[in-house]
Chains A and B, each alone.
Chain A
Amino acid sequence: MANIVSPFEDPERRLSAGRFGMLIFIASLAMIFAAAILGFLVVRLEDDGSWPPPGMPALPGSLLLSTLILVASSITFLRATNDLRRDDGPGLIRWLTATLVLALGFLAVQTFAWWDLVGRGMDFSRHLYAWTFYFLTGLHAVHVLGGVIPLWIVTQRVRRGDRSASVRRGVVYTAMYWHFVDVAWLVLYLTLVAGTLGG
């Protein structure tokens, strides 16, 4: 099939369209998180009892660790895209790999936090406190997973020495997505923490 794959002849214009498309996509995802967080706030404000309710564990401290890891991964990703711009191959490989390791680390800590809470009797169907916690962190984890897969792919391609325009685009788009996932987590985490304050 002699199909044209992209209507852009100029690769620069193609990249700028791709970045713009990613931005729109992120705006769309942001609405998902905004709605989810708003829903949480409504549930929280309509609840007159204490939060967490009696017999339910508080937010685990491991979330603080995962927050630090995710912020760190955003910083390493920034270094990676810097090196991409300067055509620093070894630097790019180093920082992308570091980001990937941190990303997997974040997911590992989140999994641990869930496992820990389940072990301490936080059954999701017992109270909306538990349900909203699992729903929000799970929603976010799914989005992190959706970022880890392309991150893994571009990292592998970069490590194999691929410096094509398509892998460059891949790094740029993944970075944008990754920073979004990072910011979304910070807002989400702060909301969860704020939920436990007062009443």
Chain B
Amino acid sequence: MTTLDATSPNPSNAPAPPVDNYLTFTRGFLSWALTLDHKRIGLMYLVAVLGSFLVGGIFALLVRTELLTPGATIPGVDAEVYNQFFTLHGAIMVFLVIIPSIPAALGNFVLPIMLGAKDVAFPRLNLGSFYLWIIGAVLAVLSLAYGGFDTGWTFYTPYSTTTSTGGVIPVVTGVFILGFSSIFTGLNFVVTIHKLRPPGMTWFRMPLLLWALYATALIQVLATPVLGITLLMLIVERVFQIGLFDPAMGGDPVLFQHFFWFYSHPAVYIMILPAMGIISEIISVHAHRHIFGYRFIAFSSVAIAIFSFLVWGHHMFTSGQSPLMNVVFSLITFSVAIPSAIKVFNWMATLYRGSISINTPMLYGLGFIFLFTIGGLTGLHLGTLNTDIHLHDTYFVVAHFHYVMMGSALIAMIGGLHHWWPKMVGRMYNEKWGIIGFALVFIGFNVTFFTQFMLGSHGMPRRYYNYQPEFQIYHVISTIGSYIMAAGFFWTLYYLVQSLFSGAKAPSNPWGGRSLEWQCTSPPPHDNFKTTPSVGDCYDFSVVKWDEEEGGYVVDRSQVDKQRPDH
């Protein structure tokens, strides 16, 4: 694979790059701060999201370290401080990392290029979304200055309306603003996909990532406003204590949970759908094999988006919902397994007899399938009413959603980051180092969270500061796993940053991809394409050939023209 030595013989290391790219197109701070270029905005999101990931990750490590022993472990961290740790960890990871990581960061970068467009439909709105995001993130973190908050990331009442910590209003306002950022990004993507497809790019020729981002955008646009109104009511309730969520004053605390989960369950699919889109790309490109069941995967994305609006009640099986409602929500929850499983089977079928390149993106892709399968199947235990009564609010739930949110959504994001890294920065990372990084993250992840399935099924409740000594061995193993994972992430950060300075220059098409982003140079020019790109079947890899002179793959035009009449 590639080497770190910049002087090594590499055909693409020819004299200075002749063309300007989006990174060098204009210079200076303002040219970035006021940019309307979707690629730069995507990159700025990426830096902001990774920064948030670092902060959220530090809180995770603090939580895990505190749980090494029953009772106090870290000096000065009492139960109240611990509550703030896990709350901040959750809120930061959900609202500042996983929700924006793929759509806002990677999506902004690749969506228009994959589509063959010059930019998203509303570039100014796009920049506006970014600054809304920054304001929301600053407010959320500012809550620490007001005494933090310890409600859990779900802001359940009455914790959020009556507890003493003063940071609830800043963080809720911050999340409210982040919601608008998310809505505008979704709106932009929907319009872009509808209105900016070039001639030849029909709906069923779009790369599957675009289908996934489209389905995600629909959820962002239709579910996030409900979170907005819920948080608004929460703020008013906290300030004026009117009793909307207080049964003593004629209100209903479960009303808040209904509203919250009406957004937050679809939000789970805001996290996982784009991840599935990335996996469809990674699996087919690195297996060099046409994606199996294109339409099934595309429609599964849409089906999941629709189902996502109908299952929120499965978070509330123990909240005193009517048994009939519980049964209905349980049944619909099981139905979500169908489109999800369709995707997994299609990825497996794509891999079958493929020419699989074992490189970092592919390893993350395979890791995703493994972890998502565990995360998805354990979801069924929680969707089953009687087992949920036992498992509800235990570490089993924690393990389940970490397998889905982190083991799936975040792992896919990091896989996608490696996949498009050469395109984004024009440099190759060190493949061997990437594989080491994957191994650390994958092993660390499973050590951390598989242990928690056992903890949970043995009855350890989530969010507890203290626990019975019999649980300690699991907590110790889990904490060791989290350190391994942290080492993996720091290592990944190190070699990615290092590649910026001494990585080999990336060819236009290092992996043999067929979608349009691999047709423009790495990094892409400011306006993406000099001429309108030609659109083919973006999963037909038979026309993609390795070119020694280029140091990467090229699309064999003569082969493409021969196939033209078929379409």
**Docked CA distance A46–B249 (Å):** 12
Q: Number of contacts between A and B (CB, 8 Å)?
A: 108
Complex CA gap A27/B220 in Å reads 11
Kindly state whether residue A56 has any CB partner on chain B within 8 Å: no
A3 at the interface (CB under 8 A from B): yes
- The reply to whether B37 and A3 form a contact with Cβ atoms under 8 Å apart is yes
Mostly, the A contact residues are helix
Q: How many residues of B contact A (CB 8 A)?
A: 49
Q: Which of B26, B30, B121, B255 contacts A17 (CB 8 A)?
A: B121
Report whether B527 and A20 are in contact in the complex, using a CB–CB cutoff of 8 Å.
no
| Interface assignment of B243: CB less than 8 Å from any CB of chain A | yes
What distance in Å separates the Cβ of A28 from its nearest Cβ neighbour in chain B? 5
Query: What is the bound-complex CA distance between A43 and B221, given in angstroms?
Result: 26
Given known pairs A21-B191, A135-B233, the reply for A4 and B527 (CB within 8 Å) is yes
The contact of A35 among B226, B250, B527, by CB within 8 Å, is B226
Closest chain B residue, CB of each to CB of A29: B225
Whether A7 and B251, one on each chain, are in contact in the complex, defined by CB atoms closer than 8 angstroms, is no
Does A1 count as interface, using CB distance less than 8 angstroms? yes
Binary interface profile of A, 8-31, with partner B (CB < 8 Å = 1, else 0)? 100001001100110011011101
The answer to whether B190 and A13 touch across the interface, beta carbons within 8 angstroms, is no
Known: A1-B26, A7-B119, A32-B226. A20 touches B124 (CB 8 A): no
Residues of B within 8 A of A109 (CB): none
The answer to whether A31 touches B225 (Cβ under 8 A) is: yes
Interface size class of A (residues with CB under 8 A): 20 to 34
- Residues in A neighbouring B244, C-beta threshold 8 A: 43, 128, 131
B123→A125 contact, CB < 8 A = no
Partner among A1, A16, A27 whose Cβ is within 8 Å of the Cβ of B195? A16
Given contacts A28-B221, A124-B240, contact A21 B122 (CB under 8 A): yes
Query: Shortest CB–CB separation between residue B473 and chain A, in angstroms?
Result: 46
User: B187 touches which one: A8, A16, A21, A125 (CB < 8 A)?
Assistant: A21
Asked whether, in the complex, the Cβ of B118 is within 8 Å of the Cβ of A7, the reply is yes
Chain B nearest CB: distance from A75 CB in Å? Answer: 28
Q: A28-B222, A31-B223, A43-B252 are in contact. Are A7 and B183 (CB under 8 A)?
A: no
Write out the residue numbers on chain B whose beta carbons fall within 8 Å of the beta carbon of A124.
Answer: 240, 242
Q: A164: CB under 8 A from chain B?
A: no
Q: Which residues of A contact B31 (CB under 8 A)?
A: 1
Q: Is the CB of A6 within 8 A of B195?
A: no
**Chain B residue contacts of A150, Cβ below 8 A:** none
Closest 6 CB pairs of A and B: A17-B195, A31-B225, A7-B119, A7-B118, A32-B225, A35-B226
